[in-house]
Amino acid sequence: MILTVTLNTALDITYRVRSLRPHTSHRVTDVGERPGGKGVNVARVLAALGHEATVAGFAGGATGEVLRERLSAVAGVTDALVPVGGPTRRTIAVVDELTGDTTQLNEPGPHITPAEWGVFLDRYDELLPRASAVALCGSLPPGVPVGAYAGLIRAARTAGVPVLLDTSGEPLRRGVAARPDIIKPNADELAELTGSHEPLRATQDARRRGAHTVVASLGAEGLLAHTPEGRWRAVPPAPVLGNPTGAGDSAVAGLLSGLLDRLPWPDRLARTVALSTATVRSPTAGDFDRAAYEKLLERVTVTPA
């Protein structure tokens, strides 16, 4: 079982419009709604790849009820969310069908009380012994300590469970110091962490700060991986237009599934890039186009960096 932690879950809503223009009224051509938050998306992709996944974190209010109801219908995913008093947030993705661009609106999460945080920590400790890997994903809702991920990483390392961290800002900085097995920042997050806008130098610095392996998302330029076994760049065969929502989460799923399948790093990175690119091509946020994934897997270029 892979444990994915989403402290700031969301109900993801996708609107499609013919053309998005400021200061005008729009007729929505299609509406999609699904359980979301980074770790929830990771769990859904892992399940589609044949792995059992458990989702931990928080859910509350009417939005949280809808999220859990929708999550119960996802085969291969187990709900271990902690109920809270505040309402789960919503994220709104507006897809412009003319250009393929997406505009994202993210609500803040519910305020988590010290008692609710304590319940989550107890549940995390209960789940860790059964986990083959842990993914710590996304932002922290109000009330959760800024060093929360660092503590969760240390607990996973004590239990001997490999842990991947995918967050940003101060939670990332503190989390890296706790020595996670993998971090997956994008270019901006990596630059904020290290102060360097040169990706190769920045990945080296992130490893010096404590990350065992750094896999940086570089958008259309693919991935840059700096590992103890070597450095690689993985690039999709061509630029892709579409909805990028969830592409980074599919990348996390690719890295974790490759870890558990014991793939060598070049194959692991090819899977990761193919999954994230197929997610951009999918019409629904946070899903991936399986046919596109299988075709892309053979066309991703992986070279030493």
Residue 67 near residue 11 (C-beta atoms within 8 A) = yes
- Burial-class residue 264 by CB neighbours within 10 Å (0-12, 13-18, 19+): exposed
249 is catalytic: yes
Among 249, 261, 267, 289, the active-site one is 249
The residues with which 164 forms a beta bridge, in sequence order, are 135, 182
The closest alpha carbon to 34, from 75, 74, 78, 70, belongs to: 70
Under 8 Å CB-to-CB from 154, ≥6 apart: which residues?
A: 178
Residue 246 φ/ψ region, left for φ over 0, alpha for ψ in the -120 to 50 degree band, beta for the rest: left
**Kind plus residue range of the DSSP H or E element containing 266:** helix 265-281
**Kind plus residue range of the DSSP H or E element containing 292:** helix 290-297
Please report how the helices 247-260 and 265-281 are oriented relative to each other, as an axis angle in degrees rounded to 10. 150
DSSP 130: G
Residue 134 near residue 164 (C-beta atoms within 8 A) = yes
- Spell out the alpha helix ranges (H) of 93-138: 114-127
The residues with which 81 forms a beta bridge, in sequence order, are 57
The catalytic residues are 249
